[in-house]
Structure 1
Amino acid sequence: MIYEIAELTIKPGTHAAFEAAVREAVPLFQRAKGCVSMRIERTIERPETYRLVVGWETLEHHTVDFRGSEDFTAWRGLVGGYFAEPPKVEHTETVVDGF
């Protein structure tokens, strides 16, 4: 499994609206080919910073299938207006699963 981890910095004072938009977008991820999980986390030390963590079966499910889909366009339409800067996206894979 591959994890997409996107650091999202939003405009101050838009927390509630941004989180509502993310909730609205959940079905976009649920129906995406190869998507097995999705969550958003808010950084305690930097309240305008969130991390979107999405589990994908393969890297291509994210980079090709989802990013090339209408649902990706819909996702960006829902949340993109809240971004204070472009998202920083990385992909990870588990190399040690401690417990």
Structure 2
Amino acid sequence: MILEHALLPVRPELADDFEAAFARARPIIAGMPGFRSLSLSRCVETPGTYLLLVEWERLSDHVDGFRGSPEYLKWKELLHHFYEPFPVVEHFSPVIDQHSTPVID
């Protein structure tokens, strides 16, 4: 499992429009091969910042599959104009999650 992490800087006056556009864009990403789940959270201290977390089966499902697809162009058209500046996207693999117990020697 790979966890995609992106802090999305949205101009605060566009927050409602962004959230509505994201609701329309969600089915696009959710229908992609390798997609597992996503969450979108709004920062309490900085209301124009959103945290997007997307679980993928494999890194290639996001980087090659989604980003290389015609569906990504629809996603981009719906959302990318809200970001200022464009977000950095990083990928993580789990070390400890809620379903595992760390090994202690």
- Give me the TM-score of the superposition, normalised by structure 2: 0.89
**Number of the residue aligned with 2:95:** 95
Matched residue, 2:67:
67
Q: What is residue 44 of structure 2 aligned with on the other side? A: 44
Q: Distance in 1 between matches of 2:97 and 2:56?
A: 17
Percent identity for Structure 1 against Structure 2: 37
Which residue is 2:103 aligned to? none
Distance change (3 Å), C-alpha of 1:40 and 1:98? closer
Contact 1:29 1:38 in 2 (8 A): no
Q: 5+ residue gaps in structure 1?
A: none
Would you say how many aligned residue pairs link Structure 1 and Structure 2?
Answer: 99
Query: Which residue identity does 2:34 align to in structure 1?
Result: G
Q: Aligned letter for 1:6?
A: A
Q: Distance in 1 between matches of 2:98 and 2:36?
A: 21
5+ residue gaps in structure 2? Answer: 100-105
TM-score between the two structures when normalised by the length of structure 1: 0.94
Report the 3-state secondary structure (helix = DSSP H, G, I; strand = E; otherwise coil) of the residue aligned with 2:13: coil
**Alpha carbons 1:36, 1:56 under 8 Å: kept:** yes
CA separation in 2, counterparts of 1:72 and 1:51?
19
Give the Cα–Cα distance (whole angstroms) in 2 for the partners of residues 38 and 75 of structure 1: 14
Q: Which amino acid aligns with 1:58?
A: R
Residues 8-66 of structure 1: CA distance to partner in whole angstroms, max 9, x if unpaired? 10113011100000000111011101001012111111111001111000000000000
* Residue type at the aligned position of 2:18: F
Partner of 1:55, secondary structure, is strand
**Alpha-carbon deviation of 1:98?**
4.9
Q: Kindly provide the amino acid, as one letter, of the partner of residue 67 in structure 2.
A: R
